[in-house]
Amino acid sequence: MTLEALDHLTLPVADLDQAEAFYVTLLGARLIRRIGVTPERHTALQLGDGPELHLFESPGLKRQPPRPHPHIAFRVDHDHLDAFRARLLEAGVKLDGPRRLGGPGHASVYFTDSWGQLLELTALHYRGPVSFGPPDMAKLA
């Protein structure tokens, strides 16, 4: 007997409509379904072929200071990392990176959603300049 796969992850969000705009419009997630009514309203999204990401509306949720862990990392093509970074900056999202923690060619861009949940875009075979080491949480606060 073995586990088959990671099925879904959940994140609390104070404003489900705002969260959908962030994850779908800005990051390119695919809306799978909307579920329930307040206070159990949530949305299921999918990014690529990975597990679903469920956003649960939690009215009154306040932004938390970002922490290195836990976080969610989304894999992107190395040729798209700079475009994603530019899109986030244009939207006013604070970020740090590209940074390298792995081997040569690894690069990550770190940022948060509106509620302080740490997110990462990660790419292999990246050819641009990188800083070394973990993300600077002060840049994301």
pLDDT digits (tens, 9 = 90+) for 99-130: 999 888 999 999 999 999 999 999 999 999 99
Per the DSSP assignment, residues forming a β-bridge with 56 are 12, 42
Residue 33 pLDDT class (50, 70, 90 cuts): very high
Report the pLDDT value the prediction gives residue 138, as an integer from 0 to 100: 95
Nearest to 69 by CA among 1, 10, 19, 117: 117
Does 91 share its domain with 128? yes
Rounded to an integer, the average pLDDT of 39-49 is 89
44 and 86 share one domain: no
Q: What is the CATH number of the domain that holds 103?
A: 3.10.180.10
- Which pLDDT value is given to residue 37? 74
Terminus-to-terminus CA distance in the chain, angstroms? 43
2 within domain boundaries: no
